[in-house]
Amino acid sequence: MTQDIPMHDVVMVGAGPAALSAAVYTTREDVDTLLFERGVVGGLAAVTDKVDNYPGFPDGIEGLTLADNLRKQAERFGAVIELGEVSGMKREGDFIRLETTSGDILARAVLIATGSDYKKVGVSGEQEFYARGVHYCATCDGAFYRGKRLVVIGGGNSAVQESLFLTRYATHIDLLVRSTIKASEILQKDLEQAVKAGKITVHLHTTTDEIVGQDNKVVKVVGTDTKTRSKVDFPTDGVFVFVGLKPNSEFLKNSEVELDSIGFIKTDKHLQTSMPGVFAAGDIRSGSTMQIATAVGEGATAALVIREYLDGKLTPVAETTEEVVVPTV
């Protein structure tokens, strides 16, 4: 019976910048708020070395510090964060039932802010040597490679930024880029300096074909120079992969929440999903700009909209959702 199931005004799935920002707003207005996080509180922001483009920090701020400050602020107003996983949800009358690792929970409204996770290259050896030579977080695991040689895979902002960070530890880094560098201009300038200093060698038009191990550790990466079509070996002690992000929306595959072709959540202009009472904000939302500042803004917007929904003042959910970009607030 429903009276035996814990009930909350709002359950937020995820505890990254979007959800933590939303929780600050809901709890300040005495809205009972529970956050479920299956990984790290603060999301990908917490495992980012330095955030340079978040307003108010002219010298930048460590991602872990920013995430921890957001957590402390939300908890100060009464937000409860529980480590666990939501595996599914469905509408039941005026409530949404969430299936979690702690048992079923009922909520009057739900905010999905599960963000994104790191994409995999999908080559032989990647899964076999995960956490034993293959990594996706430089700030988490870079220190293990002090005085070692590394391979970094990727050519975007994350790959370049994390390569620069890893130069603190590694003697040399081979950066394997499938096509060309797509990082921002300022990061490319920093990369050029690291290349001139002999800390990083950039290999353009180079695929990653295999991660090879021996005696339970990574020893080299095998790639292909797509211009010469020749195989190339890169001896290494470890591999860091930064090839993009994928949405954390697997638990919604069999739900009423509509996803786009990639798996991001579609919302209307009120951040409502196709399931009444369920909202989405941050990197998980289709049309998101994938920026921490935007996620925080969307979280605040979602909290205000959810309050209107709980008070019965919000326009009913649209029949069809659309991709929108909500400005930061």
Task: Give the residue numbers annotated as catalytic, written as ranges.
Answer: 137, 140-141
Helix (H) or strand (E) holding 61, with range, is strand 61-62
- HSE value, Cβ hemisphere, 13 Å, CA-based, for 231: 6
Tokens 């904000």 locate to 281
- DSSP string spanning 129-178? TBTTTEES-HHHHGGGGTT-EEEEE--SHHHHHHHHHHTTT-SEEEEE-S
In this structure, are residues 102 and 84 in contact, taking their beta carbons and an 8 Å threshold? yes
Query: What residues contact 206, with CB distance under 8 A and at least 6 apart?
Result: 176, 177, 178, 223, 224, 225, 226, 232
Contacts of residues 136-139 at CB distance under 8 Å and 24 or more positions apart, as own/partner, are 136/240, 136/241, 136/242, 137/47, 138/49, 138/162, 138/165, 138/166, 138/240, 139/47, 139/48, 139/49, 139/63, 139/64, 139/165
Backbone torsions φ then ψ of 88, nearest 5 degrees: 180, 165
